[in-house]
Chains A and B, each alone.
Chain A
Amino acid sequence: MQQLFNFFIRNKTFVLFLVLFTCALSLTIQSHEYHRSKFIHSSNQVTGSIYGTFHGISQYYNLKNENKLLLEENSQLKTVVFNHKNLAQVDRVLESTYNILPSLVYKNSFTLPNNYLTLNMGSNDFIKEEDGVITSKGIVGIIDKTSANYSRVLSILNTNSRVNVKLKKTNHFGILSWDGKSPEITQLKDVQDLVKIAVGDTVVTSGYSSTFPPNIPVGSIQSYRLNDTEDLYIIDVKLFNDMTSLEHVYIIKNTDINELKALNISDE
């Protein structure tokens, strides 16, 4: 026993190094798994408020661009309103189950393999995990952590991200993931090789998951190839969103989510 203690005292620097290194390593491994990073995330009060303070400064640089985006969206919405007669009634029933809240991006990253965003709304604004985040142009990600006033978004530019999407033309669905390379291109997998696809086809959300309503634009097909077993396509999808400059986003809250979850549980 004495010798053991002596050993620790003699090598105390190394022991401390080892302990702390193991801590850091386990945190790293946790962060590589979806929904596991419990302690270290930027949606807490301290980091949130600091990002908020500095966001006020950087906001001014994007004002012009943001104005343009909002104008574009306004005109788009006006077009929809003026042509309202042509909309099918079914759509209105579907839309009523989603609440949409505007929010600001405090922090965004896109260079790492696992990227997250921090938004300025949290559980005080009734934001929950699994809520979807979109812009006027397309999807951004899924809420992953919330604190009282801030929330963290698992960006679609995250190797752990999986979003259910479909081809707009043929309604065939697949899983959208990211290979960690270009912030403009994501990969659509699990589409059967008998589906006819063409470069430039639009990809939209499928609505099969409770996170996103159907038919939110995602991107267009840039190129496609078969996977190793030659029965499924790997499709490169060019995102409509510019993920490198996000400012105003919308959080989609599904008001029927509890009902849907209850259904799924009874299925199992």
Chain B
Amino acid sequence: MNNIVFIHILRFLFLVLFQTIVCSNINFLGYINPYIYVLFILLYPITNNRLLFIFISFLLGLSVDVFLDSGGTHAAASIAIAYIRPLFLKFSFGAVYEYHAVKFSNTDFSQRLVYFLMLIFIHHFILFSLVVFDQNELLLIIKQTFYSGIFTLLLCLLLTTLFSNKKT
């Protein structure tokens, strides 16, 4: 049990640092950055203690915000997907989820893809809506959501495949 907690703390710190030091400085084609830290929320074990989960997600988003000077945008987007995650778990993994038996390393690639895709795009849409904060710029929000979302999705799939064997 302690081992799992330790791994998650480590993952939290690693993802926040990796996000702020590396990913936010990529600026692919001028403005496209992946937001890789959502992986923490996506891969958080399925628990009944949702209060703790939402609170940790808030901390995660807030730490990214502090580094990137973005107010509370990442925090808001993070807790939003943390809150609606069970809905998408049920949708993507179906009956397996009901028994709390989902282990992300054992799931089908296609199921995982759908699950990642939906949560990442919702996260990015909320994030960019708050970052741009202007309803007249809906096209810009959607464009940024789309490009950054694809980038994040690719990186997330890559990282999960890379580390899938070592995962406990």
B145 contacts chain A at the CB level, 8 A cutoff: no
Tell which of B21, B25, B54, B70 touches A17, judged by Cβ atoms closer than 8 Å: B54
CA distance A121 to B88 in the complex (A): 46
CA distance A29 to B134 in the complex (A): 12
- A20 x B69 contact (CB < 8 A): no
With A42-B66, A109-B68 known as contacts, the answer to whether A28 contacts B76 (CB < 8 A) is: yes
CA distance A111 to B33 in the complex (A): 9
A71 contacts chain B at the CB level, 8 A cutoff: no
B1-41 residues with Cβ-Cβ distance < 8 A to A are: 17, 20-21, 24-25, 27, 30-31, 33
A90 contacts chain B at the CB level, 8 A cutoff: no
With A16-B51, A112-B131 known as contacts, the answer to whether A31 contacts B70 (CB < 8 A) is: yes
- B69 x A24 contact (CB < 8 A): no
B96 contacts chain A at the CB level, 8 A cutoff: no
CA distance A28 to B17 in the complex (A): 21
Q: Which of B55-63, B106-114, B116-124, B152-160 contacts A (4 or more CB under 8 A)?
A: B55-63
With A40-B65, A42-B66 known as contacts, the answer to whether A26 contacts B72 (CB < 8 A) is: yes
B24 cross-chain contacts in A, Cβ below 8 A:
109
A32 contacts chain B at the CB level, 8 A cutoff: yes
A223 contacts chain B at the CB level, 8 A cutoff: no
A257 cross-chain contacts in B, Cβ below 8 A:
none
In the complex, the chain B residue whose C-beta lies closest to that of A152 is B69
A58 cross-chain contacts in B, Cβ below 8 A:
25
- B67 x A42 contact (CB < 8 A): yes
In the complex, the chain B residue whose C-beta lies closest to that of A180 is B132
Interface size class of A (residues with CB under 8 A): 35 or more
B49-107 residues with Cβ-Cβ distance < 8 A to A are: 50-51, 54-55, 58, 61-62, 65-73, 75-76, 79-80, 82-83
A216 contacts chain B at the CB level, 8 A cutoff: no
CA distance A50 to B21 in the complex (A): 9
A20 cross-chain contacts in B, Cβ below 8 A:
54-55, 58, 75, 79
A7 contacts chain B at the CB level, 8 A cutoff: no
- A47 x B67 contact (CB < 8 A): yes
With A21-B80, A112-B131 known as contacts, the answer to whether A37 contacts B71 (CB < 8 A) is: yes
Interface of B is mostly: helix
B55 cross-chain contacts in A, Cβ below 8 A:
16, 20
- B67 x A111 contact (CB < 8 A): no
In the complex, the chain A residue whose C-beta lies closest to that of B61 is A24
Interface size class of B (residues with CB under 8 A): 35 or more
- B79 x A24 contact (CB < 8 A): yes
- A13 x B50 contact (CB < 8 A): yes
CA distance A112 to B71 in the complex (A): 12
| Distance from A51 Cβ to chain B, minimum over Cβ atoms (Å) | 8
Tell which of B30, B31, B61, B69 touches A42, judged by Cβ atoms closer than 8 Å: B69
B133 contacts chain A at the CB level, 8 A cutoff: yes
CA distance A113 to B132 in the complex (A): 6
| Distance from A52 Cβ to chain B, minimum over Cβ atoms (Å) | 11
- B133 x A113 contact (CB < 8 A): yes
B130 contacts chain A at the CB level, 8 A cutoff: yes
Tell which of A17, A25, A44 touches B72, judged by Cβ atoms closer than 8 Å: A25
Tell which of B21, B27, B66, B79 touches A41, judged by Cβ atoms closer than 8 Å: B66
A12 contacts chain B at the CB level, 8 A cutoff: yes
B31 cross-chain contacts in A, Cβ below 8 A:
111
- A54 x B21 contact (CB < 8 A): yes
- A109 x B69 contact (CB < 8 A): yes
A23 contacts chain B at the CB level, 8 A cutoff: yes
In the complex, the chain A residue whose C-beta lies closest to that of B75 is A24
| Distance from A209 Cβ to chain B, minimum over Cβ atoms (Å) | 23
Q: Which residues of B contact A (CB under 8 A)?
A: 17, 20-21, 24-25, 27, 30-31, 33, 50-51, 54-55, 58, 61-62, 65-73, 75-76, 79-80, 82-83, 130-133
A-B interface, 9 closest residue pairs, ranked by CB to CB distance from nearest:
A31-B71, A27-B72, A24-B76, A24-B72, A24-B75, A116-B69, A111-B31, A28-B71, A17-B83
Q: Which residues of A contact B (CB under 8 A)?
A: 12-14, 16-17, 20-21, 23-32, 37, 40-42, 44, 46-47, 50-51, 54, 58, 107, 109-116, 118, 152, 180, 183, 244
